[in-house]
């Protein structure tokens, strides 16, 4: 085995080495790069002035982060790793995948793009690109998040690993129990299966709509609470409009089952206009 101590930062070892010239060396029969907690292994490597190209299956380990790729590059000065093809990354009970990864071992950060997927024991996310740190994940450009049977779309998702909190920002759409909701910001506490909706949330069914200043969604119980809200029900012969400080409602299979209004309730019923026919 050949071991080269190239600097105080990293070492390369391999079964055998071919020197092409002073600026290019080929490592064969498994090449290993080590730099502190960082470890990279592949079948072969080609070292040039600024980088090491690795291929035929790449394995990277850095503390509690592991990933695989078809091929990639290790950049000698920055320590950055570029992985290309069939990316699978794991961090404890978290799983990431995609087409390409850029990883910075020193900060345990990076991004994955192309058919991005993220899965935990709380949710599943599909999107175009995800940026991850040691503590959290950020996904932009309308990712689709599935939490059991609930589907959430947003312009941006921030997921905090430690307490399984999802923060959805920008044109948030929620589909749960046949009911559709919209708001500008939703903070979802996965452990309690509860979300707080900010900035005038609105909930829709085929017949009813409920809106308010803010509110809570209790996904496990198929119910919601809206503050400073109003509910509009479209009936066969008119429209029923009710307001109140707090509106509690239960929903199932695309319908609102029951409603409780607390604090300053007001109601108004508007009958449909009918036109009598002439003789």
Q: What pLDDT is recorded for position 134?
A: 93
As a 3-state breakdown, the chain gives helix, strand, coil percent values, each rounded to 5, of 0, 70, 25
CA atoms within 13 A on the CB side of 148: 9
Over residues 221-258, the pLDDT tens digits come to 888 999 998 888 877 787 888 889 999 988 887 788 88
CA atoms within 13 A on the CB side of 255: 3
Q: How far apart are CA 213 and CA 210, in angstroms?
A: 11
Over residues 147-196, the pLDDT tens digits come to 988 999 999 999 999 999 999 999 999 998 888 999 999 999 987 789 99
| pLDDT above 90 for 92 | no
Query: Which contiguous run of DSSP H or E holds residue 226?
Result: strand 223-234
Q: Which of 25-29, 87-91, 196-200 has the highest mean pLDDT?
A: 87-91
Q: How far apart are CA 142 and CA 240, in angstroms?
A: 35
| pLDDT above 50 for 5 | no
Q: What average pLDDT does this structure show over 102-119? A: 96
Give residues with Cβ within 8 angstroms of 90, minimum separation 6. 65, 66, 67, 96
Q: How far apart are CA 60 and CA 33, in angstroms?
A: 9
Q: Are 211 and 196 in contact (CB under 8 A)?
A: no
Over residues 15-73, the pLDDT tens digits come to 887 776 767 888 888 999 998 899 999 999 999 888 999 998 999 999 999 999 999 99
What is the DSSP code string of 36-61? TTEEEEEEEEEE-SSEEEEEEEEEEE
- Token pair listed for 186: 């939703």
Q: Is 116 exposed, middle or buried (0-12, 13-18, 19+ CB in 10 A)?
A: buried
Q: What pLDDT is recorded for position 252?
A: 80
How far out from the chain centre does Cα 117 lie? 8
- Token pair listed for 225: 């609470």
- Token pair listed for 18: 């071919």
Q: Which residue has the tokens 């017949």?
A: 207
Question: pTM of the entire structure?
Answer: 0.85
């Amino acid at each position: 085995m050949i071991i080269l101590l190239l600097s105080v930062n990293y070492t390369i070892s391999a079964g055998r080495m071919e020197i092409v010239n002073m600026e290019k060396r080929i490592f064969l029969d498994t090449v290993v790069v080590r730099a502190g907690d960082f470890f990279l292994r592949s079948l072969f490597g080609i070292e040039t002035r600024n980088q090491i190209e690795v291929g035929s299956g790449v394995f990277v380990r850095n503390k509690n982060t592991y990933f695989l790729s078809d091929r990639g590059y290790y950049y000698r000065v920055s320590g950055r790793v570029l992985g290309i093809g069939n990316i699978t990354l794991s961090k404890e009970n978290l799983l990431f995948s995609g087409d390409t990864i850029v990883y910075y071992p020193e900060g345990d950060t990076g991004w994955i793009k192309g058919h991005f997927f993220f899965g935990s024991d709380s949710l599943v996310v599909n999107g175009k690109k995800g940026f991850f740190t040691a503590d959290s994940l950020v996904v932009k450009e309308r990712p689709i998040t599935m939490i059991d049977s609930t589907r959430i779309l947003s312009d941006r998702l921030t997921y905090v690993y430690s307490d399984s909190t999802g923060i959805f920002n920008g044109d948030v759409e929620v589909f749960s129990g046949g009911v559709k909701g919209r708001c500008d910001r939703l903070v979802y506490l996965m452990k309690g299966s509860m979300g707080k909706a900010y900035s005038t949330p609105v909930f829709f069914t085929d017949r009813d709509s409920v809106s308010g200043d803010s509110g809570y969604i209790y996904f496990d119980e198929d119910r919601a609470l809206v503050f400073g809200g109003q509910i509009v029900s479209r009936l066969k012969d008119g429209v029923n409009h009710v307001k109140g400080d707090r509106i509690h409602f239960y929903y199932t299979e695309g319908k609102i089952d029951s409603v409780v209004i607390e604090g300053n309730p007001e109601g108004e019923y508007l009958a449909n206009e009918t036109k009598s026919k002439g003789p």
